[in-house]
Amino acid sequence: MVVPRRGFLTLGLLALFGTVAPASMDRARAEPASIVVASTTSTEQSGLFKHILPAFEAKTGIAVKVVALGTGQALDAARRGDADVALVHDRPAEDAFVAQGFAKARFDVMYNDFVLVGPKTDPAGARGTDITAALKRIAAAKAPFVSRGDRSGTHSAELRSWKEAGIDLPAVKGEWYRDVGQGMGPALNTASALDAYILADRGTWLAFKNRGDLAILVEGDKRLFNPYGVMLVNPDKHPTVKAKEGQAFIDWLVSPEGQASIAAYRIGGEQLFFPSANVSPVTKAKP
């Protein structure tokens, strides 16, 4: 039997799809599930994610890609739909993110605190337990101060502290105030090189190796409390969000297993982050 040219084409297409389609389906099935988490430089540079993610990935088979940015930039990425989950630490900005409809809910995950780091010799006399008093002395002495300047949660906390100290920062800052526009690790490196003061999150400071002559000078002020929250990006805003996988990550973080993994992360025997899921703020112990 002679098959017309069109018949050859049809048979060829059937053969192609008969072999390629199942292979494509097999490849799709073989590809692991994955999510993108927009988070802070403090969670990444402190080493927390390297500690907790292997346990989550082993349990669920979901791979996690962390994009570490300042909190402001991380939330911007989530607003664009460039992330499935946001894990950040600027409560006012997080509440606004939910109010604007970019997430349906925010969940407490953990907390630590901010610390004022500076030269061990403390030329401005900032040492103590009152962050506003310390900043007033630094500004009066025009002692070198490094600011992240990157719209991060730490930068926001620093700006709030200057305001609470009654200092009009734009009016008084000069060469002594270095606005570096970088993450926590690089900003600490700059402070170490300049022998300058800097506000840091405790987790990154504990993981930081290049301390030079810097030390913690101010800690324990309740205004330095630093809570972290996690949010699933609203799939109604961005249909490409992997809602099922992202929610699985959130559920694990706030589960007893996830909270225990966070609590177990230590450097030199010192705990960096304290679990806070389903814990009232008034019952949280100071780090």
Integer Cα distance of 225 and 141 in angstroms: 26
Query: At 229, phi and psi to the nearest 5?
Result: -125, 155
Single-letter residue type at 107: F
Q: 100-136, pLDDT tens digit by residue?
A: 999 999 999 999 999 999 999 999 999 999 999 999 9
Assigned CATH topology for domain 34-111+227-277: D-Maltodextrin-Binding Protein; domain 2 (3.40.190)
pLDDT band at 278 (very low <50, low <70, confident <90, very high): confident
Check residue 233 and report its DSSP letter.
B
> How far apart are alpha carbons 89 and 229 in whole angstroms?
6
- Which tens digit of pLDDT belongs to each residue from 130-188? 999 999 999 999 999 999 999 999 999 999 999 999 999 999 999 999 999 999 999 99
113-224, superfamily in CATH?
A: Periplasmic binding protein-like II (3.40.190.10)
Whether 34-111+227-277 and 113-224 share one fold: the answer is: yes
Residue 32 has pLDDT above 90, yes or no: no
Nearest residue to 148 (alpha-carbon basis) of 124, 109, 179, 175: 179
pTM for the whole thing?
0.82
Query: What is the pLDDT, as a whole number, of residue 31?
Result: 64
CA distance 93 to 74: 11
- Percentage of the chain beyond pLDDT 90 is 84
Helices (H), the chain: 5-30, 41-45, 48-60, 71-79, 91-99, 131-141, 153-164, 169-172, 184-194, 202-207, 243-254, 256-264
Domain definitions of the chain by residue range: 34-111+227-277, 113-224
How far is 84 from 74, CA to CA, in rounded Å?
11
CA atoms within 13 A on the CB side of 114: 27
